[in-house]
Amino acid sequence: MLAFKNDVPHAVDVLGDMLTNSSYQRYHVELEKDTIWQELQATNDDQFETLMEHVYSNVYSGHMMGLPILGEVDNIHKITREMIVGFHKRMYYGENIVIVGTGNIEHNTLVDLAEQHFGRLPRTNGGIEILNTEQPKFKPGLLYVRDEIMQTQNVGVFYNAPPWGHPDFYAFLLLQRIFGNYSQDLLHESLNDVMGQHNMMHDFVKRVPDLERYDCIYSPYSDSAIFGHYFAGSPAFTEEMSYIGGIIGSVFANYLSDSDVTRAKYKLYHELLGVQAASDIMQ
């Protein structure tokens, strides 16, 4: 929640009231189901989001990380108020909550406000079992989903990667920017020449006819991460997209230039400078 300095007490009061006094009225629960269903339908229409959900389902199969963020369509309308209240009792307790404040706010003031407005929460959940506490394990695999209606083929090639706290975290952020991204729709014809792109990756993706989009993806978490490549293009060149996704790392390891690394450093540096808002720092 964003607030001016003088409104911080009111903001903490509102947050505390939300977490400690939520009534979860049945009418609002039913109303929110329709909202989630609409969001889920929009996600299913997005080819990139759909592929990424399949990726997580494949590499983290059997774990909570492999489940879709918005859930399954068939399960949304099965959720009851009792299930939500049970989740609240199981997960919302003192030892499982972190209160963070960033910006022009005094630490001791925030501590006093937290004690005042969150003090009603129990310290523990009373011994209720918490599921899915085990660390997710990356599982190599192959998944092919056929859709006769789609006009393009979407290919993802992903690998196990270091999480947030790993020493190579920033190296992978840099590597992601070295690979960069490519969109045929956003590029002028003159920029399709690799010499105009100033990115070695585009020399590879240009070899795949009718390639519409390429993205390098790095999704790190506290104890796991995935890194890889997303391609979207003509179904006739699925094999080429998969092949590039599999070998590109080895190719870059042997032919990466100092200029590629320097450009990626400047890009990452400017992106980090842009993360200066209070909400960004808080996250």
Residue 153 DSSP class: E
Split at pLDDT 50, 70, 90, the class of 16 is very high
**Residue 11 pLDDT exceeds 90:** yes
Quickly state the pLDDT bin for 152 (edges 50, 70, 90): confident
Taking 60 as the threshold, does the pLDDT of residue 42 lie above it?
A: yes
pLDDT band at 111 (very low <50, low <70, confident <90, very high): very high
Average pLDDT of the chain to the nearest whole number: 85
Q: Quick one: pLDDT band at residue 174, thresholds 50, 70, 90?
A: very high
Q: 143 near 54, Cβ under 8 Å?
A: yes
Q: Does 196 score more than 70 pLDDT?
A: no
Query: Which pLDDT tens digit goes with each residue over 113-144?
Result: 999 999 989 999 888 888 778 888 999 888 88
Q: What is the CA radius of gyration of the chain?
A: 23
For residue 149, the model assigns a pLDDT of 76
pLDDT recorded at residue 282? 63
Please give the Cα distance from 145 to 198 (Å, whole number).
35
Kindly state the helix (H) or strand (E) to which residue 171 belongs, with its residue range.
Answer: helix 169-179
User: How confident is the model at residue 191, as a pLDDT?
Assistant: 52
Q: What is the pLDDT of residues 209-220, one digit of tens each?
A: 778 888 999 999
* Phi, psi torsion values for 275, nearest 5 degrees: -90, 75
